[in-house]
Amino acid sequence: MTSEVVKSLARQVLTIAGSYLVAKGYVDAENAAALAGAVATIASVVWSVTASRKRAA
């Protein structure tokens, strides 16, 4: 899988998870968007570090 496919899939999963949490009343829409953004940011940092380590090895 290319990185673009993985990123797209991750965005869809975050959207579905956020929608579920809002529908169940666990969070409001603003917090769900903030949470999705935070998870996406952390995931991109982890992806970058992992890719950098593979290139260095």
CA-nearest of 54, 39, 53, 52 to 7 is 39
E-strand ranges in the chain read none
Task: Find out whether 32 and 22 touch, Cβ atoms under 8 Å.
Answer: yes
Kindly report the average pLDDT of the chain as a whole number. Answer: 90
Q: What number is the average pLDDT over the span 31-49?
A: 91
What is the torsional sign of CA 45, 51, 54, 55?
negative
pLDDT of res. 27? 95
Q: What number is the average pLDDT over the span 30-45?
A: 92
Question: How far apart (Å, rounded) are the C-alpha atoms in residues 11 and 17?
Answer: 10
Give pTM, 2 decimals: 0.74
Confidence of residue 26 (pLDDT cuts 50, 70, 90): very high
